[in-house]
Amino acid sequence: MTGTNRLGGRFAGIDVGGTFTDLLHYDSKAGQVRLAKVPTTQDNQADGVLAALDAASVDAAALDLIVHGTTTTTNAVLERRLCKTGLITTMGFRDVLELGRRTRPQAYGMSGQFRPLIPRDLRLEVPQRMLADGSEYRALDEHALRAALRQLRDEGCESLVIHFLHAYANPAHELRAGQIARDVWPEVNLTLGHALLSESREYERGVTAAVNASVQPLLRRYVERLADRLAARGYARDLLVMTGNGGMVSARIVAEEAAKTVMSGPASGVMAAAFTGRRAGIADLLTYDMGGTSTDVAMIRGADPAVSHEIEVEYAMPIHVPMVDVRTVGAGGGSIARVNAAGLLQVGPDSAGSTPGPICYGRGGTEPTIADANMVLGRMDPGKLNSISGDISIAAIRDSFAGKLGDPLGLDAQSAAAAVLRVANAKMADAVRMVSISLGEDPRDFALFAFGGAGPLHACAIARELGVPRVLVPARPGITNALGCIVADLRHDYVQTINTPLDECGMAAVHQAFAHQTEEGRRAIGREKVNIAELRVVHSVDMRFIGQTHLLRVPLPGPAPTREDLQQRFEDAYFKRFQVTLPEIRAALVNVNTSVIGRRPEVDLSLLIDADGRRNTLAEAQTGTRPVWFDDWIDTPIYWRDHLPAQATLTGPAIVEQMDCTLLLEPGDRAVQDADGNLIVTVAGQG
Amino acid sequence: MTLDPITLTVIQSGLQQVCDEMDLSFSRAAFSPVIAEANDRSDGIYAAEDGSLIAQGSMGLPVFVGVMQFSTAQIIKMIAAGSVIAPEPGDIYIVNDPYLGGTHLMDVRFAMPVWRDGKIFCWLSNTGHWPDTGGAVPGGFSASATAVEQEGLRLPPVRLFKQGTLDPEIYAIICSNIRVADQRIGDVKAQAAALYVGQSRLTRLLDRYGDDTVREAIAELRARAAQQMRAHIAQIPPGTYRASAFIDSDGVVNEPLEIRLAITADSDQLTFDFAGSSAPCVGPMNSVLATTHSAVYLAMRHIFPDVPISAGAFEPLNILSPEGTFLDARYPRPVSGCAAEVSQRIAEAVFAALVGPLPDLVTASPAGSSGNFALGGEVPEEGRSYVMYQISGGGYGGYAGGDGISNGCSTIGISKAPPVEIMEQQFPVLYHRYALHEGSAGAGKYRGGFGLDYEVEVLKGTARASFVMDHGRTGPQGALGGEDGGANRVEVTQGGKSFVPEHLSKAQDIALSAGDRVRVRTPGGGGYGPSAERDPALVAEDVRLGRITTEAAQRVYGKPSPDDC
């Protein structure tokens, strides 16, 4: 590509969220950042994308790169607006997608619904069979295959999955069937079961393939439409689309592996957090993204986000492709507070959502929520109530707290609101702790990275509950996902299953697998035509003791480990995780993994807040005071984030407001602004 | 009360968190797939004075709801009586005696006191399903056992860990009496580690809020849980509600066993009377008292899932002693079927009795079987022997909100069934089919879900097949005019000839060799409401998708008319 062999250029990161489409335009030559936030246009997200470009006065023709985060596939999956898709599978196994793994939606309660992604009449069987060792048990009946292809085509299917048992061990039948399908039905959107995920477990692999096939045409049409409209504005470069592993892929090929974009939104936020933390010298982070209806949590170790291959997007819908491991926990601003039959205050799990939303939104909500509690206690600006809602008064919200919660609990309105926050924060802290522990780490070893509309309002209290010493609040918490589009790495992940006792493993084959994966990754990144500052290759293995089912990921320093080396590293990692040694039992090598990561050029985050707008003193940055409840009403100084002086230090109680976000420092919390404009909060009361 | 309601809520979720962390750490570190993958385990906190349940992990296997309070109570009693040695800090008891507040022998309990200032503050206990504890057949599910000694090694409460160290002598005795003993050490360490994790988390909670405050909160939470359960029960109109559920046979004597249940609702309390149920049986389909209680608790929790699992929630549930019936078996009655099958029939009786007064909350009967199929085999030419378990689900009952789901997990479980690909990797078998059990859903306004239909062939060597399933005689009960679901059906093809085992759903040691096959069709769920009220479009859809035949649709629903098809 021209002009990009050195750092710099003009980049636009555009993230489509549920409510807003955010744009971050970064011009390294001019040393300038421009931002825009416009309403998301759900019917055609491209309208919002172009509106965002207009709002920031960005000339598409002058851009070197656009990176785009879209929820097209996310929404299609969650709302089941899927393309008509057929399945051709092994004789006797067409119902795998309908039977699942024998589960129910919740541990207690015997009711609930499940709808398979592909209906039974579009799931056809053909004679063929591979065995677990990859040998052919029964040849592929090509005649039956052709008949099945014709039948699905005549049914009007737009997409097709070919998914055979044990294709991860030997894909020959899937490959041959794919070839025939392309011959007789060239226009079909085809997904082979082993192509995205070459691992055993027929339900998970089948669902992953079915999700991919059934959103593929939607994503293809959307990115083509967007690329055309950008081209019409003179944008001549490649459009890149964010994927769920925190990497990105060219719009030209992204639809081939459409399933990889399903969880891309949360992933880009985590990538931005990792990047911001690395520059701030805080490499170990728990991200805390609190929105209106839910809260997303992820873990970053050594500036690398944890990646999982086993995400279940909703009940019985596993998508087993590498994704940043983002867990949705507990409550959001819209979570409703109630007193239950036991007389105990409960926050959530019911949510007022965005319609009617909290009472303070003024859209007809009547149930007290977390957001309303923040309003009653002065943590959010009650003066802004009118601008949000029109005719809801703070008195009306207080009455709701007094009547619905205060009376049964014997509390006045503000004590009831404070109780809601205390319960909510304790609950969210518990949820964050469970995420951390399930990933094998003590949360106290991490800093909390707070973003999303409500994250910084609760982060210090939650950090205190968790015993987390520091909170990092980035300069622009509300546009973190768009920043992720700018800073995310190019990334390709490879997994090869070996599944052999370690002492029987041919190490040459292991080394060869690493070499092959590395080569694949380098080639893939070479094709992306994007400027990268550094190419990193990260190797790891998944191991377990023979007889165990859970795997432990063991990072490796290079692609040529010895057998003894693997044994030792595994034992060390196992002891670190479980505090148990098991010299009695042999180890097995299950997977060989390589991630090839192209790190993008540095982005100067200090540009996120315009230096010219900064004031010289804290006093000049203060916009006023208001009473805020911290066990009692305290007249609390309010600051405007963009006006904070470069070397600001704030001590709580204090409130820092900015365009789309409010940070609350409780008494004793101390925030120091760093060179990038992040506020690093040292949380009071941590021993 | 001096405690404010907010601190109360926070301590409640703190105690819950301690249990959830124990559950998580047990599964993550365990070796046996039955614990690590199937989560056949549970962890909880129990009162120092009487072992009553304070809190239990939300990810525990449902069948263990409330169970460990009985075994902990026994240990406390036996310590007081001097029949068990009193603990010192760091000691962990192991016990699996079914008659001392247990389930079957494979559910092995650990119990450890938490010490504060030299005194026991509370107990932590967990249960893990060990893949084998000795006995006549691998895995312990002997369908023809007639005494508990044939089912495995029975351990009274003994201190397996003394002051934090594993007692090698007791451990050696255990290992000499169980199969694949060399892998048990991983599970034993995982089970103990979960208790240590719980101890350190609970200690943090106590340090933060103070022992007295937490003690006070525990008492108050117990009262509140009882209050919450009473409020739910109060919506049941006063009266007596009756239902029966039947077990195909005890595995030895080929006659059905009846669970006869009368539930009396009296303002805010329910009384469960099992009088008239069958006498203790010869084969292993007996239940012990702790399991019978637990089955009632878990059924009620399925109906009112929001009440926290604690002794308080059980207070308004008055279970009359089922003495003299097979639901209160005494030594030496065999009991291996109690947790997996009998408990599910008890839950079915509870559902069937209460669906009338609580039509919006209770479903028609679910398949309610764990579907245990065990295959123990040898491949002499490879010098290899193996034990394979196939568990399976079945259809759930229709309910006020719609049709039941297909291939749902057992009522008492939360575990996933293993994928066919994994089974074929590990064992010399070939699955020919893994499909919907067509036609198995009980008809109704909202039909049941469908069962599973699988067929597996032994590829090499020889093997012995055993089955512990149920609902082979009759399918799961329909409700409010809905019809019963399809029955379970086992079919064995041996040397080219097919037969159904004498006891239908239970059999032991059927000899198989390469080429022989086993086909299992699991039950569909019961229908809910009269089938005449079913939306014709839904009937037509089931016909179009081949889930039911046109003939069945016309026979059962009177639709679709031939013109519609």
- Chain A CB contacts of B13 under 8 Å are 423, 426-427, 430
Token reading at A301: 């170790």
CB proximity A107 to B under 8 Å = yes
Does residue A4 carry a pLDDT above 50?
A: no
Give me the percent of chain A exceeding a pLDDT of 90: 68
Residues A401 and A393: their CA atoms lie apart, in Å, by 13
Token reading at A338: 């109630």
Which residues are CB-contacts of B514 (< 8 A; sequence separation ≥ 6)?
B458, B459, B460, B461, B462
Does residue B368 carry a pLDDT above 90?
A: yes
Mean pLDDT of chain A, nearest integer: 90
pLDDT digits (tens, 9 = 90+) for B280-336: 999 999 999 999 999 999 999 999 999 988 999 999 999 999 999 999 999 999 999
Q: Nearest by CB to B186, from A165, A423, A545: name it.
A: A545
pLDDT digits (tens, 9 = 90+) for B210-241: 999 999 999 999 999 999 999 999 999 999 99
Judge contact between B519 and B491, C-beta under 8 A.
yes
Does residue A573 carry a pLDDT above 60?
A: yes
Residue found under tokens 């592993």: A245
User: What's the whole-number mean pLDDT along residues A529-555?
Assistant: 84
Phi, psi of B41 (to 5 degrees): -165, 165
CA A18 to chain centre: 14
CA nearest to B245, candidates B231, B260, B227: B260
- Domain, as residue range, for B21: 5-226
Cα torsion through B475, B394, B469, B125, rounded to 10: -130
Task: Determine whether the interchain pair A342/B228 forms a contact, defined as Cβ–Cβ distance below 8 Å.
Answer: yes
**Stronger pLDDT, A291 or A231, i.e. the higher one:** A231
Q: Which residues face A298 on adjacent strands? A: A287
CB proximity A338 to B under 8 Å = no
Helix then strand count (H, E) for chain B reads: 13, 20
Token reading at A101: 């793994």
- Chain A CB contacts of B32 under 8 Å are 547
pLDDT the model gives residue B328: 97
The arrangement of strands across the sheet holding B257-266 comes to B239-247, B257-266, B269-273, B317-319
Q: Nearest by CB to B9, from A103, A201, A345: name it.
A: A345
Q: How many domains does chain B have?
A: 2
Residues 362-391 of chain A with CB under 8 A from chain B are: none
Task: Please name the fold of domain A490-599.
Answer: Dna Ligase; domain 1 (3.30.1490)
pLDDT digits (tens, 9 = 90+) for A635-662: 999 999 999 999 899 999 999 999 878 9
Q: Tell me how long chain B is.
A: 565
pLDDT the model gives residue A602: 84
Does residue A363 carry a pLDDT above 90?
A: no
Q: How confident is the model at residue A497 (pLDDT cuts 50, 70, 90)?
A: confident
In a domain, B259, yes or no: no
pLDDT digits (tens, 9 = 90+) for A377-423: 999 988 776 555 556 788 999 999 999 999 999 999 999 999 999 99
Q: How confident is the model at residue A670 (pLDDT cuts 50, 70, 90)?
A: very high
pLDDT the model gives residue A341: 85
Residues B429 and B432: their CA atoms lie apart, in Å, by 10
Handedness of CA B415, B421, B426, B430 (dihedral sign): positive
Question: Min CA distance, A157 vs chain B (Å)?
Answer: 16
- Chain B CB contacts of A410 under 8 Å are 5
- Chain A CB contacts of B415 under 8 Å are 102
Does residue A5 carry a pLDDT above 60?
A: no
pLDDT the model gives residue B561: 59
pLDDT the model gives residue B426: 85
Question: Min CA distance, B425 vs chain A (Å)?
Answer: 5
Give the ipTM of the model, two decimals please. 0.94
In a domain, B332, yes or no: no
Residues A653 and B389: their CA atoms lie apart, in Å, by 61
pLDDT the model gives residue B144: 84
CB proximity A111 to B under 8 Å = yes
User: What's the whole-number mean pLDDT along residues A671-680?
Assistant: 96
- Chain A CB contacts of B6 under 8 Å are 345, 409, 419, 422-423
Judge contact between A586 and B183, C-beta under 8 A.
no
In a domain, B28, yes or no: yes
Task: Determine whether the interchain pair A434/B544 forms a contact, defined as Cβ–Cβ distance below 8 Å.
Answer: no
Handedness of CA B466, B470, B475, B478 (dihedral sign): negative
User: What's the whole-number mean pLDDT along residues B395-399?
Assistant: 98
Residues A112 and B302: their CA atoms lie apart, in Å, by 12
Which range is least confidently modeled, A128-132, A210-214, A527-531?
A: A527-531
CA nearest to A326, candidates A484, A487, A215: A484
pLDDT the model gives residue A598: 87
Among B200, B226, B252, the domain boundary falls at: B226
CA nearest to B367, candidates B471, B273, B275: B471
**Stronger pLDDT, A384 or B545, i.e. the higher one:** B545
Q: How would you classify the pairing of strands A159-163 and A189-192?
A: parallel
pLDDT digits (tens, 9 = 90+) for A590-630: 999 999 988 888 889 999 999 999 999 999 999 999 999 99
**Local structure of A506: helix, strand or coil:** coil
Q: With helix as H, strand as E and coil as C, how does B196-209 read?
A: HHHHHHHHHHHHHH
Residues 426-445 of chain A with CB under 8 A from chain B are: 426-427, 430, 433-434, 437-438
CB proximity A660 to B under 8 Å = no
pLDDT the model gives residue A664: 97
Q: Nearest by CB to B405, from A112, A131, A166: name it.
A: A112
Q: How confident is the model at residue A460 (pLDDT cuts 50, 70, 90)?
A: very high
Token reading at B193: 């580690």
CA distances for B179 relative to A522, B119, B132, angstroms: 49, 38, 6
pLDDT the model gives residue B25: 87
pLDDT digits (tens, 9 = 90+) for B98-114: 999 999 999 999 999 99
Residues A230 and A58: their CA atoms lie apart, in Å, by 12
pTM of the model: 0.91
Q: How confident is the model at residue A6 (pLDDT cuts 50, 70, 90)?
A: very low
Q: Structural domain boundaries of chain A? A: 10-77+220-264, 82-209, 287-486+606-687, 490-599
Which residues are CB-contacts of A229 (< 8 A; sequence separation ≥ 6)?
A46, A50
Task: Determine whether the interchain pair B420/A108 forms a contact, defined as Cβ–Cβ distance below 8 Å.
Answer: no
pLDDT the model gives residue B565: 45
pLDDT digits (tens, 9 = 90+) for B378-390: 999 988 888 888 9
Q: How confident is the model at residue B544 (pLDDT cuts 50, 70, 90)?
A: very high
Q: Tell me how long chain A is.
A: 687
pLDDT digits (tens, 9 = 90+) for A241-266: 999 988 888 898 899 999 999 988 88
Q: Nearest by CB to B414, from A107, A434, A550: name it.
A: A107
Q: How confident is the model at residue B122 (pLDDT cuts 50, 70, 90)?
A: very high
Does residue A687 carry a pLDDT above 70?
A: no
Q: Does domain A10-77+220-264 have CATH number 3.40.50.2300?
A: no
Does residue A544 carry a pLDDT above 50?
A: yes
User: What's the whole-number mean pLDDT along residues A331-339?
Assistant: 90
The terminus-to-terminus CA distance of chain B in angstroms comes to 68
